[in-house]
Amino acid sequence: MKPRQNQPPLWQQLQSTAGVLAAVRSGASCATALNMLSSQQRPGVQALSFLALRHLGRALVLRQILARRPPPAATDALLLTALALMWHNDDDDAAEPAPYQAFTLVDQAVEAAQQTRAMRSGAAFVNACLRRFLRERACLVAQSDPVPLARWNHPEWWVNRLQTDWPTRWMTMLEANNRHAPLTLRVNSRKTSVNHYLSMLGSAGMAATRVGPHGVHLHAACAVDVIPGFADGLVSVQDASAQRAAPLLLSGWAVRAGEPDNDQVKHHAPLRVLDACAAPGGKTAHLLELANLQLTALDIDAERCDRVRQTLQRLGLVAQVVQADAADPSSWWDGILFDAVMLDAPCSASGVVRRHPDIRWLRRPTDIAQMVQTQARLLQSLWPLVKPGGRMLYAVCSVFKAEGDDTIRAFMAGRTDVRCLPLARNAGDFDDFDDFENLDDVQADGPDSDGFFYALLQKSAK
């Protein structure tokens, strides 16, 4: 990890990283903790925090070996941060090598403790633990290896659930969660083409690879404000798996944008589409980039609705954005049925752990059942709003079967007005994905993309 210009000294970054780790362990999101930092601190601390969270399980087990009882919370967070960042050597075959030399991390962690009132009395303890780790590293790592928390850096309940859901693939999925996610962009087809945009990137000296019909992977991550054309709405940040949603809902049905001579444009009104739970607006925008639609974007949170509006404004797109509870149509619906509904339902987010490494430490086993109840309520509330012959795409960024297969099978049980449509392969060039009776689990061990579940449901025509 190369130091940035005007970046605070490492001991201050370790202080802040320990604060982020402590906040996550107390139940706050990493994003919330990072937002409390100055703009100068945030980039470096975010990089260290993400790496520490990816190795927190190993650090917890090592700390249990090194200390009979945990120190006070602030000191414990600093010790865990240092252990997470230094437990593997630079010569290890690791997806993310140690960011600094181990001796540097020890020195700067002790300095961080000495410079912090709440940790000062624990500076000698931190120094003793870390220097013992340096002396006995190989033995201590070997001692921690058999513990699932250390081996997989996920809570044991999470590991057990994946073992049950994916008996032949769970290890690969957990390993994928511990890798750094690529920066993937979606090209706005109303403004440019993938090939033209790849040429733009090449001219800017930025290497990239095409992924799917509308996406590109940047070989090196960067801030959005330096991505060519981002401010002008040429591209948006969106993972390749998430880019499947809009084409799946519209495939073989909607009018393509920019085809004014099509009979459907001349003789029929645009398709009426609802994007429920729409924030931050990525799928809303993709739908509008692909087709001429009368689209309503719905979200329960006012601030998140503002994010949808900002997204649409940057891309030059128009939709009706409504703040309301999608599960209570009586509070917002005008009584006119929708041709299509996108239900990107609230979920555990177990499929996007690479991008949000705090999720695994924030979730609890009981959360899944609560999520399933919410998903079922949304399906039951929104299905009556779909026209006969219309369709709904159910999507969750989860790899847990309870939120995917099980939820859809439960919804369909005993119904005579719904069937699962095949998920069109031309909706995305991702040959490694598996179909399960027309239900699609987009796995993190397929292409280098997030874990999603999709089911395309059609209402029987009367």
Give domain status of residue 389, yes or no: yes
Give domain status of residue 173, yes or no: no
**Residue at which a domain ends, from 136, 153, 170:** 153
Give domain status of residue 204, yes or no: yes
Residue-level pLDDT at 388: 96
Residue-level pLDDT at 412: 95
Helix locations, 241-292, DSSP H: 245-250, 263-267, 282-290
Confidence at 425, pLDDT banded by 50, 70, 90: very low
Residue-level pLDDT at 424: 55
**Residue at which a domain ends, from 107, 136, 153:** 153
In angstroms, rounded to a whole number, what is the distance separating the alpha carbons of residues 74 and 118? 7
Give domain status of residue 300, yes or no: yes
Annotated catalytic residue, options 129, 347, 397, 420: 397
Same structural domain for residues 226 and 290? no
For the beta sheet containing 215-218, the strands, ordered from the edge strand earlier in sequence to the opposite edge, are: 208-211, 215-218, 183-187, 235-237
Residue-level pLDDT at 263: 45
Confidence at 252, pLDDT banded by 50, 70, 90: confident
Does pLDDT of 434 surpass 70? no
DSSP conformational letter for 6: T
**431 against 328, higher pLDDT:** 328
Give domain status of residue 163, yes or no: no
Residue-level pLDDT at 444: 37
Does pLDDT of 462 surpass 90? no
SS3 label, residue 440? strand
Residue-level pLDDT at 432: 31
In angstroms, rounded to a whole number, what is the distance separating the alpha carbons of residues 327 and 58? 41
Does pLDDT of 194 surpass 90? yes
Closest CA to 324 of 289, 386, 275, 273: 275
The percentage of the chain sitting over the pLDDT mark of 90, rounded to a whole number, equals: 80
Domain range for 196: 183-237
Confidence at 151, pLDDT banded by 50, 70, 90: very high
Q: Token pair for residue 157?
A: 């309940």
Q: Are residues 80 and 52 in contact, defined by beta-carbon separation less than 8 angstroms?
A: yes
Does pLDDT of 426 surpass 50? no
Does pLDDT of 211 surpass 60? yes
Phi, then psi, of 290 in degrees rounded to 5: -90, -25
Helix locations, 316-443, DSSP H: 359-362, 365-382, 405-412
Same structural domain for residues 213 and 327? no
Does pLDDT of 140 surpass 60? yes
174's enclosing H/E stretch is helix 170-177
Does pLDDT of 92 surpass 60? no
Largest CA distance in the chain: 78
Does 397 participate in catalysis according to the annotation? yes
Between 78-92, 125-139, 347-361, the lowest mean confidence (pLDDT) is in: 78-92
Same structural domain for residues 67 and 145? yes
Does pLDDT of 254 surpass 90? no
Between 76-85, 215-224, 265-274, 344-353, the lowest mean confidence (pLDDT) is in: 265-274
Same structural domain for residues 223 and 274? no
Segment 272-307, tens digit of pLDDT:
999 999 999 999 999 999 999 999 999 999 999 999
Between 57-71, 314-328, 337-351, 426-440, the lowest mean confidence (pLDDT) is in: 426-440
Does pLDDT of 461 surpass 90? no
Same structural domain for residues 101 and 23? yes
Buried b (16+ CB within 10 A) or exposed e, 222-257: eeeeebebbeebbbbebbbbbbbbbbbbbbeebbeb
**150 against 261, higher pLDDT:** 150
Same structural domain for residues 334 and 295? yes
Same structural domain for residues 222 and 273? no
Closest CA to 233 of 345, 153, 311, 150: 311
The percentage of the chain sitting over the pLDDT mark of 70, rounded to a whole number, equals: 88
Same structural domain for residues 149 and 203? no
CATH of the domain at 300: 3.40.50.150
CATH of the domain at 124: 1.10.940.10
- Total number of domains in the chain: 3
Confidence at 431, pLDDT banded by 50, 70, 90: very low
Same structural domain for residues 67 and 129? yes
Question: What is the rounded average pLDDT of the residues 57-78?
Answer: 95
Give domain status of residue 258, yes or no: no
Q: Say if residue 92 is exposed, middle or buried (CB neighbours under 10 Å; 0-12, 13-18, 19+).
A: exposed
Residue-level pLDDT at 440: 56
In angstroms, rounded to a whole number, what is the distance separating the alpha carbons of residues 455 and 342? 11
Same structural domain for residues 53 and 187? no
Residue-level pLDDT at 276: 96
How far are the Cα atoms of 30, 85, 150 from residue 57, in angstroms, in the given order? 16, 12, 5
Question: What is the rounded average pLDDT of the residues 6-17?
Answer: 91
Judge if the upstream peptide bond of residue 280 is cis by omega within 30 degrees of 0. Answer: yes
Residue-level pLDDT at 430: 31
Give domain status of residue 333, yes or no: yes
Give domain status of residue 166, yes or no: no
Confidence at 422, pLDDT banded by 50, 70, 90: confident
pTM of the model: 0.90
CATH of the domain at 194: 3.30.70.1170
Same structural domain for residues 415 and 319? yes
DSSP conformational letter for 380: H
Confidence at 68, pLDDT banded by 50, 70, 90: confident
Q: Are residues 287 and 462 in contact, defined by beta-carbon separation less than 8 angstroms?
A: no
Question: What is the rounded average pLDDT of the residues 338-363?
Answer: 97
Residue-level pLDDT at 84: 96
Does pLDDT of 446 surpass 50? no
Q: Say if residue 374 is exposed, middle or buried (CB neighbours under 10 Å; 0-12, 13-18, 19+).
A: middle
Residue-level pLDDT at 180: 87
Question: What is the rounded average pLDDT of the residues 64-92?
Answer: 88
**Angle at alpha carbon of residue 425, lines to 422 and 430, rounded to 5°:** 130
In angstroms, rounded to a whole number, what is the distance separating the alpha carbons of residues 326 and 340? 15
Residue-level pLDDT at 268: 62
Same structural domain for residues 295 and 205? no
